Every structure is written in structure tokens, then in C-alpha cells.
Structure 1
Amino acid sequence: MENFVLYEEIGKGNKSTVYKGRRKGTINFVAILCIDKSKRPEITNRVRLTHGIEHQNIVLFHEWYETSNHLWLVVELCTGGSLAMVIAQDEYLHEDVIRQFGIDLVMGLRHIHELGIIFCDLNPAKILLDGPGTLKYSNFSLAKAEGENLDEFFSLISGEDDLVESNNGTERTKCKIRARGSLTYMAPEILKGEDYSPVSDLWSLGCVLYEMFTGKPPFFSENHSALVEMILYEDPSPLKPQESTEQKPSIEFIGLIEDLLQKDPSKRLNWRDLLHHPFWQGAFAGCEKSLNKEKNRKSLSDNEICSPVITSELQQIGGRKSLQTSSIQMDSNQHQKSYKLKNPADLQPKSAQDLNSKESIFLLSSHPTPRTSLNVSHSSNVTRSAPPKGSSVSPQILKPTPMKFDLKTLSVPAYSAEKLVSLKGQDWNNYIQHLCSLIEAGEKTSGAPRAKLNLICYLCSVASHKEAATRLIDSRLFPVLTQQLRAAPNWDIRAKMIRLIGLLACHTTELKDDVPIAEAVTLLTELTRENFRNTKLKHCLIPALGELLYLVANQEEKSLQARDRWAIPSIAYTVLMRCIREGGDPVTNHLAAKIVENVCTTNSSPAQGFITGEIGLLLWFLFTHSTMDSLRVTTISALCRITRHSASAFQSVIDKVGLTAVLNSLVAGISRVQQYMLTMFIAMLSSGVHLQRLVQEKEFVTKVARLLESPSTVIRAKAFLVLLEVLRNNKEMLLLCCQTR
């Protein structure tokens, strides 16, 4: 049995964690997914569909293992993050980039359909990028073979684990919930009760292409019923020129989107027309030859599941099609693969020792990972990367996990967020008054604390709705929460209140002048300082504090003026600086650095509060001494955003550690680190800080010039801008640049 070395955590889901790993004794890096056993049906489905697939646009599956509490998947490592992350960061993509990405998507999906598989839940989050930027289909958990019932398969797999505990009706409901995909990308015919088919995947493909151009899916609503109505009966908004570039969509691209988003599946593009669409500019030329070769191919036997390409297009084209034969054409044996699994024992993971065992198959490494272009940010249970400045999406520190509450014992009507927002006048005032009275009530009776916890959990569940959060934070409820937070008798209730305050701050879109944010910030700061040696409590307090700081910074930037009741006390900055300097654990360090990064995306007084003489050196120390790429990226990003406000922050780093040490970090850094460091050099040169020294420094010019060979377009562009600033002030360096180049 092979052993694997686990490096840093590079992703986290509801019941799964993704690690960067390495097969022991080799230099082959992989992604290792640790998944709760409650996901066994989905994971088994993923393994049975992908374990034999080798294709450039599909994440390669290696093997899987089982321990007492978890399933472990070893798959290809994709260092570029997800397509969803790229869209969120860039806001939109240019049409030429969409064409390149689209070719990858079409090639991968074509191959999947050729194998007799329907992806079923095609969305940007399930598409990953490798280092060179190739798109790969990743998560096949909800995919299925053509003609099969996925609910029945899940029931078959669940039978060994939990079927005994459930009656048949409950189990069928559970499986149907499992089999549901993302509603936003779901085809109309699926919503009408029809089964998934190749053409429903093509609808989802159209949604993804649309989102790449506009930055948002063609149909979106936070209300489930409204979203269904939009998909079934409304047309998507027309593709408009992108604001910053005025890039107009081409007629070919508009036509492609319209043909893919036909609500009638019989009118939607089929594979032949898709491959020959003019938008691709002949990228799939030569497919006719492979089509003709396969025209008379014998169909599969009755006891096997047929390819969806055959079942959906055989009458039209007389056979199956293939893309470029050099890269994705399959032999006849691969076409005849059957995915039926009559006995769950036929597909079982390898047995492995638990992680606590000395013979563990997955060994946790205490050393930093060797340098790679890892662009996937660390995702602990409370952090996520901030989007670029100017994004309309708030860089959240709190992960919006749903809160469960007991409907039967709830002391107020359990209104949905939509119903809550619709309350007007006296109805709203009465409801808020009732909430406040329950929260302020004493806890002398035995069931009072539990009732209050249940109420706060309910409020957490509706606080993720933007309009509801905005109305609640502007009401009397917010100051009551702040007052009761100090008076709460135990930390169970305090933790839930802190969570609620953070969620309200996270999802609020507009803040009134009289909301007492300063009091809440002061209280959270005091609690953090009082419990500074308690790591668990710090992890609870700091995210909510960060959300309040970002809310104030964001609202202040929008209104262009500060408010007295929003004033952030200086002690809040002092405590967060201390968390960076002596946080005691990587998560606390990461949370504090993430707050600095987020707040400093804005031009506001809270951002200015972080600009001190020591901030640059604190972040640099954390950057150089961290062993996790994700934490290193966050700290250098925070320093970059600070430098945009004040170039002296980066200047102090160079003065303290020396230019050579900084340049060595630039050369050895991963892609995102290099981008941020080049941005800081541009800011310094533009502001005149260290100008004469840098433009005369040959080592600096030489190392930046070598980055012109980087595979990253962004790094090449930023390196060019640095050299441009150098040459504007010292033309004699032009010869050195040419010689280095």
C-alpha cells in the first residue's frame, strides 16, 4: 500500500477537506480529499464513473481509501483554483479567453458524453484549472450514466450504511435530495420533471459561457420559486458591452448563447451544430472525418447503457462523433463500457489505517510544501479570499453555513427571510419588539437559555438574506444584541450572538447613520483582549470584528464621509496588530491578516487605521515565517493593499531586511506572491519612494526582467510596468534589460 505525505490544507467544504499531498518516495504531487462517510453514495458514484478516464480536460482519478470515519480520494492536483473563483476575481472574461476556455469545456464534455455519462450538475465551481490554465471537469458526484436512475444507485449504496435506520419513504426522499444539482444552471426540462440528457448539459454549458462574459449567471434569484419561474418562462438579459473595456459581444457569441439557452430542448444546439459553430473559428475542424469513420459503428448491447450521443443524435447523423482524433478519440472498447453496479461490494475503497495509527497511509508533514504555482487559497472554516478592489461582492470572513433551529420550540413565528422583509409598519415593529423582549428576558427558568439559543439560531438562518440583514441591523435588535452580549451568562449564547452580529454585518448592503457600530466593535475588541490566550474564543470573536470593520469601511467609501457612530476605536487596531504579531496559531494570524487585506481594499478611515510604522514589518515577518502558501498569500496581499495607501510600508520592509532578501522572495514566490510584490514595486516607483536606488540597482532590474519569461500573462504585464518605470527614470538600464532578455 502506497503512503502519502500531506502538506497544507488548500480547500474545505461542508463535509470535506482538500489537502495538497505527495506520493511518498516520488515527486508526484496530488490533491487528497478527506470526506465524511455520510457522502459515500456520492463518492462511490464519482469513483465508478471516473476511475478509468484519462483525458486532458477531466481531473484524473488515482485511487481511494477508507478509514474508520472518512473516505480519501487521491486525484490530480489542479493549482489554478476553480472557474468560479476566476470569474469572481476578474468579474468577467474577454471573449477570446472565453473561446479558449470554451474549447476546453466542449472537448471535455464531448468526451464525457461519448463515454455514456451525463454530467448533470455542470457549473463553474466544478471546473478546475491546472497550472498552465487548462480547464478540467472535476466533481462527478451527481453525474450519471445515460438511462439510469441515480436515486436507485444512491439507494443501493446507502443500503449498507443507513437504509436499516430509515423507512423506504424517508430514504427515497433523502436520495432525491442528494441527486439535486445547482438550480441556477438547471435546464427547464429538468425543472418540469424530465430526466437529465446530453442536451440538458448543453444548457448548463450555455449558462457557464454566459457567466464568463457577464460575471453572473443568466438566471439568478435568492428566492427559489422566483428562480424557477425565470428559468421556465423568462429570457436571459441580453449580453451587453463590458463596462471597463466597452467590449461588445460578437454576433457569433450572441448566437451561440441563444442557441444553447433554447428552452425547448428539441430546438437547442446538438453536438454537430455546436462543433461547427462559427464562434469556435474552426477549432474543431476535421471532426467530419471521425464522424464518417464512426457512422456505421455497431450500437451497444441491450444490457449496457448506451452513449447519450447515440441515443440523442443517431437518427440525425447516423452515428457518433469525435473531436480531434489525436487527443480525444476513443477506441471501440471504451465505447462499450458499462457503469451498472449490481453489488456495492464490486466497488470498494482500499482499506487504510486511521490517521492516529503509526502505519497511517496519510502522513502529515511539518515542513513547508516545495514551491509550486498554487493559486488555490487556504479555506479554513472562517475565511475566504477577498475579491479585487471594486468588486461588488463583500469579501467575507464568515463562511455562511446554515444554522439549525427547532421550529416547534421557537417563541416567535418562523418567518422566511422573504416574509420577514415584507412586514411593514406596525407588524414589523411588533415583531422586532417581540424579538428584543425575548433576548432581554432573564434566564432563571431551566429552559430559558435553550429557548434563547434556538431563537438566535433562527435569526442566523435569516441573516444571510441581504434585505433581511439590512433591516435587522437598522432596527432596535442590533443594540439589544450588543448589550446582551456582555450580560450573557455563558459562552454558548455569546458565541451564537457573535455569530449573528457577524452575519448581519456580512450581508448588510446599506447602513444608516445612527446604527451603533462603534459600541459593537468596542465590545468585541474588549472580549478579544480579555480572552487573548483562549484560541477557540479568538476564532469566534475575530471574524465578527472583521465583518464590522469591513462594513464600516465599505459604507464609508460609498458615502464619502465618516459617521460618529461608526468611529472605530484605536484599541481595535491595536488588538488586531497583536493578533498578527503574537496570535499564537496560524488561524488567528490568518484571520487578522485577512481583516487587514479586506479593509484596505477600500479608501476609508478604517483602512488608514492600519497604516502604522510597524504594519509592514509585521506582515513581512508573518509572510517569511509561515509554512502555508495560503497564509503567505494573504499576508503579502494585505501588505500590497497597505502599500497602495502608503508606499512607506513596503519601504520599511526593504530598509529592515534588505533589497536582496525581498528580491529572493520575489523570485522564489508562487504566482500570486509574485503578482503582489510586483504591484508593490510599481507603487513605490510611481510614488518616488526608493526611486533613485531602485533604478540604479542592476540586480533588481535583472530579476524583474527575467519575469518577462513567466507563463503568467499578469506577471509578464506587471514586470513590464516595473521596467517601464525604471527606464523612464534611467534610460541606461535599457541595455541591461535587453541583455537579460
Structure 2
Amino acid sequence: MSLQQIGRGGTSKVYKVLSQEGKILALKKIDINGSDKTAFQGYINEINLLNHLKNNSRIIQLMDSEINRDTNSIYMVMECGEIDLARLLQKEGNKISISSIKMYWEQMLKAVHAIHEENIIHSDLKPANFLLVGGALKLIDFGIAKAIPNDTTNIHRETQTGTVNYMSPESISDFNADVDSDQRPDFKISRASDVWSLGCILYQMVYGKPPFFRENTIFKKFKAIVNIKYQIAFSSDRNQFRLESSQNQSSSSSNSNENNGTYNINDFVSSPLIEVMKLCLQREPKKRPTIPQLLQQAFIHAPQVSYNLVYNIVDEMLNYCNKKDDVGKISQVLYEQILKQGSF
């Protein structure tokens, strides 16, 4: 029984449905009328990969599928999620906490590691392709994912694939191509390409924008991504890049936000977190860490220090010394130093 439409794409619609057992599932209906061979093969590829990844708790589960030639449609019955990461980030904005980012980051890493262990490269990792199911992120949309042959670490494509804000340099430019040659470009995609995309998603979770947000056209983004001289901006202040894009707003509203007298511990980015982003966003694929290496990074494993704990310690010290200094300001400075040193 169909309950409601919950999503749609270019040729597909997704409905929330109720199974005979009373379980809420998602039904994806794809219209293949007029689809070219490549698009159709993409749908079949997704079904095959999801069947291969059945019973993996970090991947969206495909319950059933059918190709109906009478209606020129493909039907896929899958788990139903609450919200994808793209909508969550849009909804939460800069309110998403560092601790939540850490939790989601670890879940994303483990989901991508699960497909890499099966020699599968996703090739289109982006916030919209991580879905919250029962409070945990699961990986979805395997339309352009590819299996890696057992005897190699790369797959070869003749065309660019992916979503520009999250595409790796090697998926955009054939670095070995002869400009004057008539030979088709050869884009070498590897597990490291997925790591780049993960780094872009992490950057967006932290700063509210993908790494190349300053480039306002697709062509400029492509050029910036492949340009080794283009420096990606990082900051220990999560709000710095948001403030850049809000310069056109009235100064009165901006000042009221900046000077409201509150201290938000989630406004600061620790050194380990910045280090993780920098490691993922290296243009040379071989220099990027593997997923298991990222799972061992300090950002995930460093102990979390509470701002309230720092405040209470400072307060007790000042009382002991009979000092009347501003407890809040001293606690803020000390806490920021702790963040920068990587204890969070």
C-alpha cells in the first residue's frame, strides 16, 4: 500500500509504502521509457551491486526488484530512511555539533570501507547519497558505482562522472593525456577518489560549504579542483566562510549575531579535524590515506573535553587565588587552545 511520495529524480519517483507485514519501506519507480543504453545499464548495475551487498548493515538494503517491460518501469523496494545528509545539513545549518560530525564521519567511513572491501568504488559520494536509517547513516545510490578487477587498484572511465562539488581531480582531468591527441581521455578512478569526495563532505559539514565554494561556475570549479596551485581554505573558526557569503546582508543583523554575548563551543575547529580534511583533499591520489587509516585518526579517537569542565576548573582556581578576573573569557581562551592542540 502506497502512503506518500517522498522523493523524485529525473526519471524516478520514490514512495513510502507499507508492506503486508506492516513494515514501512521505500518503493523506487524508474521510468525507462526513452532511456538510452548507458542509463538503463546504470539501473541494472545498481540492482546487481545492491544484491551483492545484501545483509551489509551499512548499505541501504534492497528487498526486491522488478523490470516491467509492459510499463517500461523498474521497481526497487528498499529500506525507508528518515532524511538524507544533504537535507539534514540544509535543515541544521551551523547548528550541527562537532560531536555529531564526528559520529556521522565515522559512520560514513565505515559505510565506504564496506564497499571498498568488496572491491567497489562508489564514484558519486555526496551528502544526498548518505541516508539516515534508524539514526545511522547508510550508503545509497550505486548507479555509477564500479567494481574493481581483483588484479588492479584502479578502474578506467572514458567520461567524467560524479557531482562537481565532490569530484576528485583524477575524475575530472586525464593527467596523462596528450592535448593534441585524438585519443579518448582515460580517467583513472580508485578508492582514493572516494576518499577525496568524503573529504569534501566533511568540509561541508564543518564549514557549511564545499571546498571550492568561492568558484561560482562549474568551469571555474573544474579548474580549481585540478589546479595544484589553488589553495583550499581552512580555518579554526567554523563561521568564517559563512560570514564571507553574508557580506551583502545588513551590518545591523550581522552585528547582532556576532555580538550577542554567547559563546558557542561548536564554533571552533580542532587541529586533528583540520588535519583529516587536509589529508583527504590532497590532489595526488597516492598521498591520500585509506579508509582504515582515517578510522585511526585522532579526530575520532581523541578524548572529548567539556567546556563546562574547563569553566569549573578556571572558576575554582580564580576563587582559590582570590582573583576577580572574567571566568568566561579565560575559560574561552583556554578551551580554544585545548581544541587547537587536539584534545577534542
Same fold by TM-score greater than 0.5: yes
1:661-709 CA deviation, whole Å, 9 max, x = no partner? xxxxxxxxxxxxxxxxxxxxxxxxxxxxxxxxxxxxxxxxxxxxxxxxx
Q: Is the radius of gyration larger for structure 1 or structure 2?
A: 1
Find the counterpart in structure 2 of residue 72 from structure 1: 75
Find the counterpart in structure 1 of residue 103 from structure 2: 100
Answer whether contact 1:59 1:136 (CA < 8 A) is retained. yes
Query: 1:192 and 1:14 mapped to 2: Cα distance?
Result: 27
Answer whether contact 2:86 2:128 (CA < 8 A) is retained. yes
Query: 1:149 and 1:65 mapped to 2: Cα distance?
Result: 29
Residue 192 (str. 1) matches residue 173 (str. 2): yes
Query: 1:78 and 1:87 mapped to 2: Cα distance?
Result: 16
Query: 2:99 and 2:130 mapped to 1: Cα distance?
Result: 19
Q: Cα gap change, 1:242/1:149 in structure 2, threshold over 3 Å: closer, same or farther?
A: closer
Find the counterpart in structure 2 of residue 268 from structure 1: 288
Alignment partner of 1:113 out of 103, 113, 116: 116
Query: 1:282 and 1:242 mapped to 2: Cα distance?
Result: 19
Secondary structure in 2 aligned to 1:195?
strand
Answer whether contact 2:122 2:142 (CA < 8 A) is retained. yes
> How far off is 1:236 after superposition?
1.8
Answer whether contact 2:156 2:188 (CA < 8 A) is retained. no
Answer whether contact 1:144 1:150 (CA < 8 A) is retained. no
Secondary structure in 1 aligned to 2:188?
coil
Residue 123 (str. 1) matches residue 143 (str. 2): no
Find the counterpart in structure 2 of residue 204 from structure 1: 197
Alignment partner of 1:218 out of 194, 211, 223: 211
Answer whether contact 2:84 2:128 (CA < 8 A) is retained. yes
Unaligned runs of 5+ in 2: 175-186, 240-256, 258-263, 304-344
Find the counterpart in structure 2 of residue 182 from structure 1: 163
Answer whether contact 2:2 2:17 (CA < 8 A) is retained. yes
Query: 2:79 and 2:189 mapped to 1: Cα distance?
Result: 27
Query: 2:302 and 2:234 mapped to 1: Cα distance?
Result: 26
Residue 31 (str. 1) matches residue 26 (str. 2): yes
Alignment partner of 2:17 out of 4, 17, 21: 21
Q: Cα gap change, 1:22/1:215 in structure 2, threshold over 3 Å: closer, same or farther?
A: same
Secondary structure in 2 aligned to 1:8?
strand
Aligned pairs for 1:669-684 (under 5 A) are none
Query: 2:66 and 2:204 mapped to 1: Cα distance?
Result: 36
**Larger proportion of strand:** 2
Aligned pairs for 1:557-568 (under 5 A) are none
1:175-197 CA deviation, whole Å, 9 max, x = no partner? x4xx6210111111222223110
Letter in 1 for 2:143: S
Query: 2:202 and 2:121 mapped to 1: Cα distance?
Result: 18
Letter in 2 for 1:64: S
Answer whether contact 1:50 1:61 (CA < 8 A) is retained. yes
Query: 1:278 and 1:82 mapped to 2: Cα distance?
Result: 27
> How far off is 1:282 after superposition?
6.8
Secondary structure in 1 aligned to 2:66?
strand
Query: 1:149 and 1:277 mapped to 2: Cα distance?
Result: 27
Secondary structure in 2 aligned to 1:51?
helix
Alignment partner of 1:8 out of 4, 14, 28: 4
Aligned pairs for 1:129-208 (under 5 A) are 129-131=132-134, 133-147=135-149, 176=159, 180-193=161-174, 194-208=187-201
**What count of residue pairs does the alignment treat as equivalent?**
251
Query: 2:73 and 2:197 mapped to 1: Cα distance?
Result: 31
Letter in 1 for 2:48: R
1:554-613 CA deviation, whole Å, 9 max, x = no partner? xxxxxxxxxxxxxxxxxxxxxxxxxxxxxxxxxxxxxxxxxxxxxxxxxxxxxxxxxxxx
Find the counterpart in structure 2 of residue 708 from structure 1: none
Query: 1:7 and 1:66 mapped to 2: Cα distance?
Result: 22
Query: 2:64 and 2:51 mapped to 1: Cα distance?
Result: 8
Unaligned runs of 5+ in 1: 152-171, 284-741
Query: 1:74 and 1:271 mapped to 2: Cα distance?
Result: 30
Give the percent of matched residue pairs that are identical in Structure 1 and Structure 2: 29
Answer whether contact 1:276 1:282 (CA < 8 A) is retained. no
Query: 1:282 and 1:109 mapped to 2: Cα distance?
Result: 22
Answer whether contact 1:19 1:31 (CA < 8 A) is retained. yes
Query: 2:43 and 2:136 mapped to 1: Cα distance?
Result: 24
Query: 1:222 and 1:43 mapped to 2: Cα distance?
Result: 32
Find the counterpart in structure 2 of residue 241 from structure 1: 237
> How far off is 1:239 after superposition?
2.9
Query: 2:99 and 2:235 mapped to 1: Cα distance?
Result: 15
Secondary structure in 2 aligned to 1:196?
strand
Letter in 2 for 1:227: K
TM-score, normalised relative to structure 2: 0.69
Residue 55 (str. 1) matches residue 56 (str. 2): yes
Secondary structure in 2 aligned to 1:62?
strand
Query: 2:52 and 2:125 mapped to 1: Cα distance?
Result: 20
Q: Cα gap change, 1:262/1:110 in structure 2, threshold over 3 Å: closer, same or farther?
A: same
Q: Cα gap change, 1:196/1:149 in structure 2, threshold over 3 Å: closer, same or farther?
A: closer
Find the counterpart in structure 1 of residue 243 from structure 2: none
Residue 231 (str. 1) matches residue 225 (str. 2): yes
Find the counterpart in structure 2 of residue 42 from structure 1: 42
Secondary structure in 1 aligned to 2:52?
coil
Query: 1:202 and 1:192 mapped to 2: Cα distance?
Result: 17
Q: Cα gap change, 1:218/1:134 in structure 2, threshold over 3 Å: closer, same or farther?
A: same
TM-score, normalised relative to structure 1: 0.33
Find the counterpart in structure 2 of residue 84 from structure 1: 86
